[in-house]
Amino acid sequence: MTLCPGGFPIQETQNWQCGFLPGVYQGNYVDTSKRTVEELVENIRNFGLSRPAQRKQLDLLAKLNAAHQSVRPQDAALEARAQSFEMAYRMQLEATDAFDIGRESEKTREMYGDTTLGRQFLIARRLAERGVRFIQLWHGAGQPWDSHDDLEKNHKRLAMEADQPIAALLTDLKRLGMLEETLVIWGGEFGRTPTVELPTPGSNAGKINGRDHNSHGFTMWMAGGGVKPGHVHGESDEFGFKAVKDVVHVHDLHATILRLLGFNHEEFTFRSSGRDFRLTDVHGKIVQSLIA
């Protein structure tokens, strides 16, 4: 499930597409700037058919789809399409409850805050509570953290927006006994340079108070899900430009995440185009010191 308020991020659905895995594993987008269940999930209610009638209709459709698939084996796109009908029905049954944060106590809603991000984080907790396995949260449409200009002002505002709901989510997961089995990951795909970005036509507003992209040194954090609490791993150089101690490559991060999820990344494969692919391909070393 992908929660992003106000519209798609840059690159849109590519951010949660499933790669070479079957289409059924692709994320479902929800615009969490909306407040009512009917706005959050389109067509959440079927006013033309009763629940039993819908169930009979879907059962018949499943039989027809199964017959269609039997003569077209191993067609991942067809399989995903067939399963999408059942997914939509389950969302009608269960999302009405999961997305309705009005069912939470006033104290809980106040803890998260009555903001777009506050509601989004509370929805995420309610989805996890109901068995949704993977939930991806975005901080607004586009890429609001991409501060080539006005970095101090923008990052301060964005951090303040996220601070309360992050703390509320971790506190709430711990209160409900879910934190130990829920892996929370916070980060992006790059950091910012320690030097200002000079004005470049077409890339910034001509100011000298922003920073460029930096893939050589940046921070991510993880909580719960078997992660060692309070552990700080790695250091950058004295300028904050490049990781120089206990360097963790993105492949190592992926291998470690898979380990925390219970998978051996060197043995966990999926066959595609005649080859057994590892999700980390031929890369990745588990960072054992991050694991409790």
Picking from 49-58, 82-91, 144-153, which range would have the lowest pLDDT averaged per residue?
Answer: 82-91
- Convert the pLDDT of each residue in 155-206 to its tens digit: 999 999 999 999 999 999 999 999 999 999 999 889 999 999 888 777 777 7
The four Cα atoms 219, 224, 226, 227 give a dihedral, to 10 degrees, of 20
Q: Are 72 and 78 in contact (CB under 8 A)?
A: yes
Residue type at 59 in one-letter notation: D
What local confidence, expressed as pLDDT, does residue 134 receive?
A: 93
Query: Torsions phi, psi of 9, nearest 5?
Result: -75, 175
pLDDT digits (tens, 9 = 90+) for 3-46: 999 999 888 888 888 888 877 788 888 999 988 888 887 777 77
State the alpha helices, DSSP H only, in the chain.
37-40, 51-70, 76-98, 106-112, 116-129, 151-175, 250-260
CA–CA dist 242, 226 (Å, integer): 28
- Residues 34 and 41: beta-carbon distance below 8 Å: no
Q: Give me the residue spans of the domains in the chain.
A: 1-182, 185-292
> Which whole number is the average pLDDT over 48-65?
85
Mean pLDDT of 138-144: 91
- pLDDT reported for residue 84: 78
Q: Does 88 score more than 80 pLDDT? A: no
Per-residue pLDDT of 236-276, as tens digits, reads 999 999 999 999 999 999 999 999 999 999 999 998 888 89
What is the pTM for the complete model shown? 0.86
Residue 47 confidence (pLDDT) above 80: no
Contact 147, 202 (CB under 8 A): no
pLDDT of residue 217: 92
Give the tens place of pLDDT for each residue, 92-124. 777 778 889 999 999 999 999 999 999 999 999
Give the CB-side neighbour count of residue 150, counting CA atoms within 13 A: 8
Biggest CA pair distance of the chain: 66
**In the predicted model, is pLDDT for residue 210 greater than 80?**
yes
